[in-house]
Amino acid sequence: MTFDIDAESCILAEGRRYATNPSVMTHQAYGPLVGVPRILDMLAGYGVKATFFVPGVTAQRYPALVERIVTEGHEVGHHSHTHRPPQTMTEGEERRDFELALEALDHLGITPRGHRTALWAPHWSTAALVAEYGLAYQSNLMDDDRPYVLCTDRGRIAELPPHWSLDDYAQYAFMLNPDIGHTVESPRKAVEVWTLELDAMRDYGCLLVLTNHPFLSGRPARVKALRSLIEFALDAGDVEITTGAVIAERVMADPDASVRTHEPIVVDPALYPHR
Amino acid sequence: MTFDIDAESCILAEGRRYATNPSVMTHQAYGPLVGVPRILDMLAGYGVKATFFVPGVTAQRYPALVERIVTEGHEVGHHSHTHRPPQTMTEGEERRDFELALEALDHLGITPRGHRTALWAPHWSTAALVAEYGLAYQSNLMDDDRPYVLCTDRGRIAELPPHWSLDDYAQYAFMLNPDIGHTVESPRKAVEVWTLELDAMRDYGCLLVLTNHPFLSGRPARVKALRSLIEFALDAGDVEITTGAVIAERVMADPDASVRTHEPIVVDPALYPHR
Amino acid sequence: MTFDIDAESCILAEGRRYATNPSVMTHQAYGPLVGVPRILDMLAGYGVKATFFVPGVTAQRYPALVERIVTEGHEVGHHSHTHRPPQTMTEGEERRDFELALEALDHLGITPRGHRTALWAPHWSTAALVAEYGLAYQSNLMDDDRPYVLCTDRGRIAELPPHWSLDDYAQYAFMLNPDIGHTVESPRKAVEVWTLELDAMRDYGCLLVLTNHPFLSGRPARVKALRSLIEFALDAGDVEITTGAVIAERVMADPDASVRTHEPIVVDPALYPHR
Amino acid sequence: MTFDIDAESCILAEGRRYATNPSVMTHQAYGPLVGVPRILDMLAGYGVKATFFVPGVTAQRYPALVERIVTEGHEVGHHSHTHRPPQTMTEGEERRDFELALEALDHLGITPRGHRTALWAPHWSTAALVAEYGLAYQSNLMDDDRPYVLCTDRGRIAELPPHWSLDDYAQYAFMLNPDIGHTVESPRKAVEVWTLELDAMRDYGCLLVLTNHPFLSGRPARVKALRSLIEFALDAGDVEITTGAVIAERVMADPDASVRTHEPIVVDPALYPHR
């Protein structure tokens, strides 16, 4: 279970003009102010540990919350500094943003083990950046539903593959301006999607990387619905819930893990003339 | 339970050219002509009091309806004059619009206690405007699901936090031009979303601010579905349904209420270069 | 029950360039080629009569089909000639298109009693045009869910109010280019929406004007689902299914029917500066 | 059952710039890397044969996979070389792309019997191209739900009509950039749509052409849900699951099959002035 505490950052990345709208900004602040504490209480009730990906600006704005996450035994991951997608930055800008995030977390005494790129819009070089800074894993690539070892030219890391279908944005994101989505599903339906996937993954021996945003999934009925997912997992007997760091460590130590090298797709402009 | 009687105003705010289409205009007029009377009858059957946020232009166009709302013991709130979002106006224009709405309601003998900003697109200064004009509360900010005291430089008001997920637009808004949405959910599903939230809020001691639009939720099956939500609430035993004004009064008198100050988000253009 | 046999016309109205794509054109032709015959067979099984709104160009392209509709006792209504929305035409162009449609139907020996405007985008003068040409009703305005008498400066007609929520576009329209929608709901859900509305309308004494498009609702499972709606109606005991022409006649003869005059909305540019 | 193994191609056709985003590219690679093998295993368990439409570039990138498909007795169909829609190409460019696809499949020893055009955006001349190159059928036109014979000026082929409502894009496609959709339905709902259609088609004697994309429908819960569709079909007793090539052969040999000629729609610019 992963929670991306984007708070204001993901909206500001769309355009800093949105900061002038207090309804929008407080919609985002709901995550750290209400959603995360409620989720932490809920997780504590089950003794479940999760991974919270925290942008640097969120860590700076809500340091006590981040400290509580650590204190309660959860993992804090690197989720960029500003939540701007690298695809809109040069590699140099991404590196600088990456470093600022490290500094912000370091300021709270946190050395992250894992990275998730904003909006799943990395560069091909991002994985090497993750390795270069000594992180153990990222959660960015979608070509598998089992974790694997990713070789970069600056070392090996683990990849814990996420997927859009396991992101609460697809179920709950609704805002007119900026337009972040137009969907308000019943929590029963959202959790049905995730529970059916978990159940089917038991047959295939997969890793379900659930991506939730506390400003969405921290609402009362949604937290309550998450309880039913956790209870399904705990009752199954063959499902383990743990942090990304723990999984990454196992993958790197597993001689049977798939080992892959990241090869950029080279496209022939004659075949694909549209830029 | 709140009902925003936007009628024609919310469409005209998109562009006054839409006034040339009688299908669109009558789609909106359905609210005051059919939806609100039906909703009032339904509420009377349960003895439930609600808050109706009424733009000034709606009050001018449908005065008898607004008077009936008051006569039947419901609250009429301030919902701007034209339903143009302040984000598209200067603060001066917003103030003028705010005053026009007060005048329109005053003309019907109504002194509103609460304000909701059109499209939840206020300025940071809107709350102070609400306080300056002596209103007791607004329903604009989304950083909590419990009401709280909001300090402005012109006095304190209560905030009764709404949320996009508790707005019937997400379930029912469908129109091609202007594009107000593309969703026609079953009333069963819509009310399931709201009932699950209410049920979960009982555990957390929250305030559910339901935002319905009579041009959407005044349709027969949707009113019937709302009955099931009300019956769920009344049967629960620990749920109270009352007006925003009553809640605001309690919040302001509650020594345990959260007290917050509205601090505009200051954004570093170096971090967020995209305007 | 009304069926709009738009066929190719509603797509060509988006741009005639779409005629170059045979997948798109055949998607539309499915309506007259497969959907309508299947729907006619189904209706015959229940002895139910419906109203088919047929654009002039559809009548010219599929004359035998239109003749079958008439032969089997259903009503054929006027649905413009080209399915171009009057909002994109001058009133003079709309009149010419209106006349072409009358000519196309007349060529098949049909004098339509009712009119529905393409895309529900009429002018305020459209109702008077309908009256001027001697039609008995239109199905365009959305400010009620009971039929009423509409006074125009060229005579009185009946209005049988439709609604976007009772249109199969909201449940089934899916095409990428042109973008007509992105929704493929289960027929069970679509019919639930309509059945719940019908059931609630029984309490309020309303008219349910269902708008279906055979290129969408003529698919096998959707026709089968429509059967369940019809069976619900027939079993209810207090629901009558009949044509628009029959209802219009009753409304015009009903001394208790609501009588309304169509008054264009005049908008103050000072209040709504955005054109 | 048809599976379009678009992999990277359908995204590159939107713009080759998306190749710079490894999250997007791996999202697509999931199809051949994980989805197809899982689907093949599943199909083998039921002894069901399906048709896999494979763009030339996919065949070049994943030759071993395509060989496995053939080895296991399934059909490989022609799905263009680059997945660029012909509507964005001249007829000459489409022909060249068509030939490249034939060459790519031939390189693997495959002579395809059927063709499906990218994005269902063919030219009116596409069917003749299919006939000219000796293929037996295409699956492009949507004007029926029974297969038929299509006469072109270069010979006769069978048409196995697909439909947007039977495509998993409508149920599962979700990606922000490029925007391929915003829907993540429960596999239960997706399969309900398809199962209801299959069930109703039994009454009408139709052909259900299911179009699935392994990068979407290869996810664990979605494959599991497909099992329930297959089991429904096998249990029905009157449903046969087979490849497009087998069906095409029967249609061409069936004296009762509908025979049609493809006639381009000629549009009068006076009626439809909008290009």
pLDDT per position as a tens digit, A128-168 = 999 999 999 999 999 999 999 999 999 999 999 999 999 99
pLDDT on residue B147: 98
Summarised one tens digit per residue, pLDDT across range C107-137 is: 999 999 999 999 999 999 999 999 999 999 9
List the one residue out of C75, C88, C78 whose CA is nearest residue C12.
Answer: C88
pLDDT band of residue A121 (cuts 50, 70, 90) is very high
At least 3 CB pairs under 8 A between chains C and D: yes
First to last CA, chain C: 37
Percent of chain A whose pLDDT exceeds 90: 99
Task: Please say whether the beta carbons of A173 and A184 come within 8 A.
Answer: no
pLDDT on residue C115: 98
List the one residue out of B269, B273, B272, B260 whose CA is nearest residue B138.
Answer: B260
Task: Give the architecture-level CATH label for domain B2-261.
Answer: Alpha-Beta Barrel (3.20)
Number of Cβ within 10 Å of residue A9's Cβ equals 25
pLDDT band of residue D50 (cuts 50, 70, 90) is very high
- The shortest CB-CB distance from B196 to any of A14, A84, A188 is to A188
**Chain C residue whose CA is closest to D202:** C220
| Predicted ipTM of the assembly | 0.98
Neighbours of chain A (3+ CB pairs under 8 A): B, D
* Chain D residues closer than 8 Å to A144 by CB: 30, 33-34
Judge whether B270 is closer than 8 Å to chain A, CB to CB: no
- Please give the Cα distance from C40 to C62 (Å, whole number): 15
Judge whether D259 is closer than 8 Å to chain C, CB to CB: no
Q: A23, B145: Cβ pair inside 8 Å?
A: no
Q: What angle do CA B211, B215, B218 make, to 5 degrees?
A: 80
Summarised one tens digit per residue, pLDDT across range C8-33 is: 999 999 999 999 999 999 999 999 99
Residue C28 phi, psi (nearest 5): -80, -35
**Three-class SS of residue C178?**
coil
Q: A13, B120: Cβ pair inside 8 Å?
A: no
In the predicted model, residues of chain C with pLDDT beneath 70 are none
Tokens of A74: 């959860």
* Chain C residues closer than 8 Å to B15 by CB: 272, 274-275
Best to test chain B binding among C88, C123, C129, C196 (most B CBs inside 10 Å): C196
The helix (run of H) or strand (run of E) holding residue D197 is helix D187-204
- Please give the Cα distance from C215 to C222 (Å, whole number): 11
pLDDT on residue B252: 98
In this structure, are strands D137-138 and D148-152 parallel, antiparallel, or unpaired? unpaired
Longest distance between any two alpha carbons in chain A, whole Å: 58
Alpha helices in chain A (DSSP H): 9-12, 22-30, 36-46, 56-61, 63-71, 91-106, 126-132, 169-172, 187-204, 214-217, 220-236, 244-253
Contacts made by residues B240-243, CB under 8 angstroms, sequence distance 24+? B241/B1, B241/B48, B241/B49, B241/B50, B242/B49, B243/B49, B243/B50, B243/B51, B243/B74, B243/B75
Exposure string over A193-229, b if 16+ CB within 10 A, otherwise e: bbbbbbbbbeeeebbbbbbbbbbbbbbbbbbbbbeeb
Best to test chain C binding among D174, D267, D268, D275 (most C CBs inside 10 Å): D267
Neighbours of chain C (3+ CB pairs under 8 A): B, D
**Three-class SS of residue C259?**
strand
Distance from CA of A151 to the nearest CA of D (A): 14
Q: C144, B34: Cβ pair inside 8 Å?
A: yes
List the one residue out of B65, B105, B37, B42 whose CA is nearest residue B241.
Answer: B42
Query: Torsion-angle region of residue B181: left (phi > 0), alpha (psi -120 to 50) or beta?
Result: left
DSSP character string of B163-224: -GGGBTHHHH-EETTTT-EE----HHHHHHHHHHHHHHHHHHT-----EE-HHHHTSHHHHH
* Tokens 């978990």, residue located: A198
pLDDT on residue C215: 98
Global pTM value: 0.98
Judge whether C192 is closer than 8 Å to chain B, CB to CB: yes
Best to test chain B binding among C89, C94, C143, C206 (most B CBs inside 10 Å): C143
Sign of CA dihedral D34, D37, D39, D41: negative
Judge whether A197 is closer than 8 Å to chain D, CB to CB: yes
Task: Please say whether the beta carbons of D165 and D197 come within 8 A.
Answer: yes
Residue B235 phi, psi (nearest 5): -75, -25
Q: What angle do CA C232, C233, C239 make, to 5 degrees?
A: 150
* Chain D residues closer than 8 Å to A203 by CB: 220, 224
- The shortest CB-CB distance from A175 to any of B164, B183, B271 is to B164
Tell me how far CA of residue D248 lies from CA of C53, D2, D26, in angstroms. Answer: 36, 14, 35
Helix axes C187-204, D187-204, angle to 10 degrees: 90
Q: A193, D186: Cβ pair inside 8 Å?
A: yes
CB proximity list for A4: less than 8 A, separation 6 or greater: A52, A53, A79, A116, A211, A212, A213
Q: Average the pLDDT over B38-59 and give the result.
A: 98
- The shortest CB-CB distance from C186 to any of D119, D196, D266 is to D196
pLDDT on residue A155: 98
* Chain C residues closer than 8 Å to D269 by CB: 16
pLDDT on residue A161: 98
* Chain C residues closer than 8 Å to D201 by CB: 220-221
Summarised one tens digit per residue, pLDDT across range D89-147 is: 999 999 999 999 999 999 999 999 999 999 999 999 999 999 999 999 999 999 999 99
- Please give the Cα distance from D106 to C39 (Å, whole number): 45
Q: B204, A38: Cβ pair inside 8 Å?
A: yes
- Please give the Cα distance from C119 to C117 (Å, whole number): 6
- What is the four-CA torsion angle of C141, C146, C147, C151, rounded to 10 degrees? -70
Summarised one tens digit per residue, pLDDT across range B109-157 is: 999 999 999 999 999 999 999 999 999 999 999 999 999 999 999 999 9
Alpha carbon A129 to chain centroid distance? Answer: 17
pLDDT on residue D248: 98
> How would you class A133 by CB atoms within 10 Å of its CB: exposed for 0-12, middle for 13-18, buried for 19 or more?
middle
List the one residue out of B157, B259, B260, B142 whose CA is nearest residue B211.
Answer: B142
Helix axes A220-236, A187-204, angle to 10 degrees: 20
- The shortest CB-CB distance from B23 to any of C140, C199, C204 is to C140
- Please give the Cα distance from A141 to D24 (Å, whole number): 8
- Please give the Cα distance from B262 to D173 (Å, whole number): 40
pLDDT band of residue D20 (cuts 50, 70, 90) is very high
* Chain C residues closer than 8 Å to D87 by CB: 20-21, 177
- Please give the Cα distance from A155 to D115 (Å, whole number): 44
Helix axes D63-71, D36-46, angle to 10 degrees: 0
Q: Average the pLDDT over B162-175 and give the result.
A: 98
CB proximity list for C134: less than 8 A, separation 6 or greater: none
At least 3 CB pairs under 8 A between chains D and A: yes
Exposure string over C16-55, b if 16+ CB within 10 A, otherwise e: bebbbbbbbbbbbbbbbbbbbebbbebbeeeebbbbbbbb
> How many Cβ pairs closer than 8 A exist between chain C and D?
127
Distance from CA of A37 to the nearest CA of B (A): 12
* Chain B residues closer than 8 Å to C94 by CB: none
pLDDT on residue D171: 98
List the one residue out of B94, B108, B79 whose CA is nearest residue B4.
Answer: B79
Distance from CA of D240 to the nearest CA of A (A): 26
CB proximity list for A180: less than 8 A, separation 6 or greater: A11, A169, A173, A174
Q: A12, B171: Cβ pair inside 8 Å?
A: no
List the one residue out of B123, B142, B155, B124 whose CA is nearest residue B262.
Answer: B124
* Tokens 């009693």, residue located: C113
- Please give the Cα distance from C219 to C189 (Å, whole number): 15
- The shortest CB-CB distance from D87 to any of C20, C84, C182 is to C20
Alpha carbon A157 to chain centroid distance? Answer: 16
Mean pLDDT rounded to a whole number for chain A? 98
* Chain A residues closer than 8 Å to B84 by CB: none
Task: Please say whether the beta carbons of B206 and B42 come within 8 A.
Answer: no
Rg (CA), chain C: 18
> How would you class C94 by CB atoms within 10 Å of its CB: exposed for 0-12, middle for 13-18, buried for 19 or more?
buried
> How would you class A110 by CB atoms within 10 Å of its CB: exposed for 0-12, middle for 13-18, buried for 19 or more?
buried
Alpha helices in B54-116 (DSSP H): 56-61, 63-71, 91-107
- Please give the Cα distance from A17 to A26 (Å, whole number): 15
Number of Cβ within 10 Å of residue C198's Cβ equals 21
Q: Average the pLDDT over D151-155 and give the result.
A: 97
Please report, as a single letter, which amino acid is at residue B151. Answer: C
Percent of chain C whose pLDDT exceeds 70: 100
CB proximity list for A215: less than 8 A, separation 6 or greater: A6, A7, A27, A28, A29, A30, A31, A35
- Please give the Cα distance from B268 to B262 (Å, whole number): 19
- Please give the Cα distance from B96 to A96 (Å, whole number): 46
Sign of CA dihedral A85, A86, A90, A94: positive
Judge whether B119 is closer than 8 Å to chain A, CB to CB: yes
**Chain D residue whose CA is closest to A118:** D23
